[in-house]
Chains A and B, each alone.
Chain A
Amino acid sequence: DSGVTQTPKHLITATGQRVTLRCSPRSGDLSVYWYQQSLDQGLQFLIQYYNGEERAKGNILERFSAQQFPDLHSELNLSSLELGDSALYFCASSADRVKRNTIYFGEGSWLTVV
């Protein structure tokens, strides 16, 4: 158990809909990362927050957005969903030093768009 909690574990929704994925980082971790893993693909970096502020952005679509709340949990919002958005979405967290820090992953939220 990495200490990173993600909900829901599985989600099935229709095209055009909107979903919210939630992540609670490890106790004491200030940084939260979101990654997407599509079928047979590597882990694609989406976005990172540090203590409530966006710190780095990767290949995140405009239809997707995220935020980190004062209690440090984070949410990833996916809207106008398309079939190609079906993927495993991982949240990870790390300690307050951003660089040279191990990041610890949650078990992921499996999104299926039908």
Chain B
Amino acid sequence: DQQVKQNSPSLSVQEGRISILNCDYTNSMFDYFLWYKKYPAEGPTFLISISSIKDKNEDGRFTVFLNKSAKHLSLHIVPSQPGDSAVYFCAAGGSGTYKYIFGTGTRLKVLA
């Protein structure tokens, strides 16, 4: 049972436009969410996180939105840059669990 889902395996966006990456989760006990970026042959790099007490967190060009009622979070990248081309993973963790569950990732390609 996949508790964290990223239903879009890939996404292409024009440079300068907004990239929106989506993530859905099923476990209502999750209360902390993270986004990671991964380049080929490298480890995932932490981007941004959000706690369930918030519905938005912003860090530079990256904003994460959390909709608890829909069990949905999204990562917005504005403006998108070619260097943002990578695989993006969302992860969830929370009360009663010591582990983080990752989605299967979305491959973002930003076209110059």
Contacts and interface: CB of A to CB of B under 8 A. Distances in A.
Residue among B94, B97, B102 facing the most chain A CB atoms (10 A cut-off): B102
A42 B45 contact: no
Interface string B66-97: 00000000000000000000000101011101
A4 B42 CA distance: 12
Nearest to B98: A56
Q: How large is the interface on A (under 10, 10 to 19, 20 to 34, 35 or more residues)?
A: 20 to 34
A43 to B, nearest CB: 4
Contacts, number: 63
Given A90-B44, A100-B32, A48 B99 contact: yes
A44 B105 CA distance: 12
A38 to B, nearest CB: 11
Interface string B50-74: 0100000000000000000000000
Contacts of B98: 31, 48, 50, 55-56, 98-99
Nearest to A90: B43
Given A4-B43, A99-B94, A107-B43, A43 B51 contact: no
